[in-house]
Amino acid sequence: MGETDVIDLLLAQHGMIRNLFDEVEQAPAGEARAEAFTRLVRLLAVHETAEEEIVHPYARHAIDGGDGVVDDRLAEEREAKELLSRMDEAGPDAPDFMQNLLMLRAAVEAHARSEERYEFTKLRGQTSDAERRTMAAGVKAAEAMAPTHPHPGTESATKNVLMGTPIAMMDRARDVIRQAMGKKP
Ligand SMILES: [Fe+2]
Ligand SMILES: [Fe+2]
Residues 139-151 as b/e (b if ≥16 CB within 10 A, e otherwise) read: bebbbebbbeeee
Question: Which ligand has the shortest distance to the CA of 76?
Answer: 1
Distance CA 40, CA 85 (A): 12
Q: Which ligand is nearest to the CA of 73?
A: 1
Using only C-alpha atoms, the chain has a radius of gyration, in whole angstroms, of 16
61 Cα to the center of ligand 1, angstroms: 17
Centre of ligand 2 to C-alpha 177, Å, is: 16
Is the pLDDT score of 50 beyond 70?
yes
Dist. CA 136 → ligand 1 center (Å) = 15
Ligand lying closest to the C-alpha of residue 78: 1
What are the respective helix, strand and coil percentages of the chain, to the nearest 5? 80, 0, 20
Q: What is the pLDDT of residue 1?
A: 42
Q: Sign of torsion, CA 32 34 39 40? A: positive
The residue with greater pLDDT, 57 or 159, is 57
In this predicted model, what pLDDT tens digit does every residue of 136-149 receive, in sequence order?
A: 999 999 999 998 88
Ligand nearest, relative to CA of residue 13: 2
Sign for the CA dihedral angle at 68, 12, 126, 122 comes to negative
Ligand number, closest to the Cα atom of 69: 1
Amino acid 148: pLDDT? 87
Listed as own residue / partner, the contacts of 81-85 with beta carbons closer than 8 Å and 24 or more positions apart are 81/48, 81/166, 81/167, 81/170, 83/107, 84/41, 84/44, 84/166, 85/165, 85/166, 85/167
Q: Mean pLDDT throughout 28-47?
A: 96
Residue 47 identity (one-letter amino acid): H
pLDDT in tens, 85-139: 999 999 999 999 999 999 999 999 999 999 999 999 999 999 999 999 999 999 9
Distance 51 CA to ligand 2 centre (A): 7
Closest CA to 43 of 175, 164, 169, 181: 169
- Closest ligand to C-alpha of residue 72 is 1
Q: 147 in helix, strand or coil?
A: coil
Percent of the chain with pLDDT over 70: 92
pTM score, whole prediction = 0.93
